Amino acid sequence: MNPPSQTTRLFRPASFLIGLVLGFLALVLAGRFVGHTDWHPNFVRFHPHITSETLYEPTIGELSSIIRANCRPDQILVVVGGNSIFQGVGQPVDRVWTRHLQELLGDRYAVINLAFRGAYATDGAAFAAEAMRKEFPRQIYLANIAPLNGSAPVGSDTYRFMFFDAYYKGLLTDFRARDDALENFLAHPHIYEGIHAKTRLAKVDAALRFRDFWTWWSANLFFTFPTERTPDIRTAFKPRNAFPDIEPDFETIPFEERFSDRFAQAEMEIARNYTAIYYEKDAAGAWKLFSDQEAGFHDNVRNAFPDELKPRTLLVVSRNSPYYTRQLPDDIRARDELAIRHTLAGWREAGHASIDYGLDFADTDYGDRTHLTVSGGRKLAKLVAAEIESMSERLGYLSR
């Protein structure tokens, strides 16, 4: 007969603790492992089901693994960042502009599109490229920007989780302006809600790797909760890698529909005010950049990227569709062109490469006021390819 104590010791605290520690250890190791594994075979770009739009937050390890899987050491790495324009909104996955850029540049280069909708030039793609600076020293980073837009060295609020990820894992180079921007956030927590909690979690994650592990889990096994875009049981728990990239093709939508009166008023308003906040007219009636805007822009540009990375960084300045700009008064068009010239000069003076696009584009090259159709994407790719080749020559990438 067994003693009665056997029934009272069903729970063993020491074994429980061993299980807890072993479990954490296994998850940390698994997180470290998957953080160095590419889980996006045949990657083309980040579509909404693998971005913050559906509460899937890609990790820097994930972006770096995509780079590693798609760029051979003998190739020149070309990382494409920026927003929806460079991500290729309105261009189906098989005809997105970065595919054409790859064709134009050839096998000597590996073009990887890591742009996100609504992102800054200094968001995740920039941090991933920076994190890979030693592994792929022959690299070019490019992103699109609007005229006179600088870019915060800590990225945008939406995608700041990628900055924290890279920063607290020690993947970024020393950069005083970035440290100062972070210090400023920490000292003024009302500017960025939850900054202290987010930084604390990012520091813990650097050790425990829960973001890498559960993001991998969400992509490959099942997503763990419903979101606004995946509210029903059929989609809520589907692994995110099971969702295809179903970006519609602007060119299958009739032009009259894309540029219908339904959008015209709002789009014209945006086009009219594209550069309005930056300029005033002087006594002679000429456009003059507000001095505080000018100082702010130059300050932003100087502090957007670390000095050592500026020469390999290409900023591409966007124009609005000629369908809208053609309808603007001459002096507003002149102001927009002046803003483009000031923007190019600002980025170049600070040590980056910079080009613009859209001046000779046709109405049909735009899918809406700002995004490009496949034909517009092909024209953009041609301009960008020429500049990348010229930068590669300048940076000595071709002589190796």
Partner 1 sequence: MISLIKRSGYRLWQKLPRPVANLITHAVSISAGLLVALILHYLLYRFGLPSKPFIYVVF
Window contacting partner 1 (CB under 8 A); options: 222-230, 236-244, 245-253, 375-383: 222-230
**Hey, which residues between 176 and 195 contact partner 1 (CB under 8 A)?**
none
Does residue 199 touch partner 1 according to CB under 8 A? no
Nearest distance, CB of residue 204 and partner 1, angstroms: 7
Match 């099971």 to its residue by tokens.
242
**Hey, which residues between 57 and 86 contact partner 1 (CB under 8 A)?**
57, 84
Our CB check for partner 1 shows the closer of 123 and 389 to be 123
Nearest distance, CB of residue 118 and partner 1, angstroms: 5
Window contacting partner 1 (CB under 8 A); options: 10-18, 104-112, 122-130, 131-139: 10-18
Does residue 17 touch partner 1 according to CB under 8 A? yes
Our CB check for partner 1 shows the closer of 26 and 246 to be 26
Q: Pattern 351-380, binding to partner 1, x per CB under 8 A? A: -----------------xxxx---------
User: What's the number of CA atoms in the CB half-sphere (13 Å) around residue 215?
Assistant: 32
- The helices-and-strands tally (H runs, E runs) of the chain is 17, 7
Sign of the four-CA dihedral 162, 164, 169, 175: positive
Size of the chain in residues: 400
Q: Which of 173, 176, 211, 188 is nearest to 309 (CA)?
A: 173
Match 């909404």 to its residue by tokens.
48
Does residue 208 touch partner 1 according to CB under 8 A? yes
Residue in 47, 99, 100, 117 binding partner 1, rule: CB under 8 A: 117
DSSP letter assigned to residue 174? P
Does residue 282 touch partner 1 according to CB under 8 A? no
Estimate the share of the chain in helix, then strand, then coil, as percent rounded to the nearest 5: 50, 10, 40
Nearest distance, CB of residue 265 and partner 1, angstroms: 15
- 314 three-class SS: strand
Question: In the chain, where do the E strands start and end?
Answer: 76-80, 109-113, 139-145, 279-281, 287-289, 313-317, 353-356
Residue in 32, 198, 238, 302 binding partner 1, rule: CB under 8 A: 198
Distance separating alpha carbons of residues 153 and 122, to the nearest angstrom: 6
User: What's the number of CA atoms in the CB half-sphere (13 Å) around residue 186?
Assistant: 13
DSSP letter assigned to residue 372? B
Does residue 44 touch partner 1 according to CB under 8 A? no
Nearest distance, CB of residue 109 and partner 1, angstroms: 29
**Hey, which residues between 242 and 271 contact partner 1 (CB under 8 A)?**
270
Our CB check for partner 1 shows the closer of 203 and 348 to be 203
Does residue 20 touch partner 1 according to CB under 8 A? yes
C-beta of residue 243 within 8 angstroms of C-beta of residue 229: no
Q: Which of 6, 32, 39 is nearest to 242 (CA)?
A: 39
Our CB check for partner 1 shows the closer of 318 and 392 to be 318
C-beta of residue 147 within 8 angstroms of C-beta of residue 356: no
Nearest distance, CB of residue 110 and partner 1, angstroms: 27
Binding residues for partner 1 (CB under 8 A): 1-3, 6-7, 9-24, 26-27, 48, 51-55, 57, 84, 89, 117-118, 158, 161, 197-198, 201-202, 204-205, 208, 210-211, 213-215, 224-225, 227-229, 270, 368-371
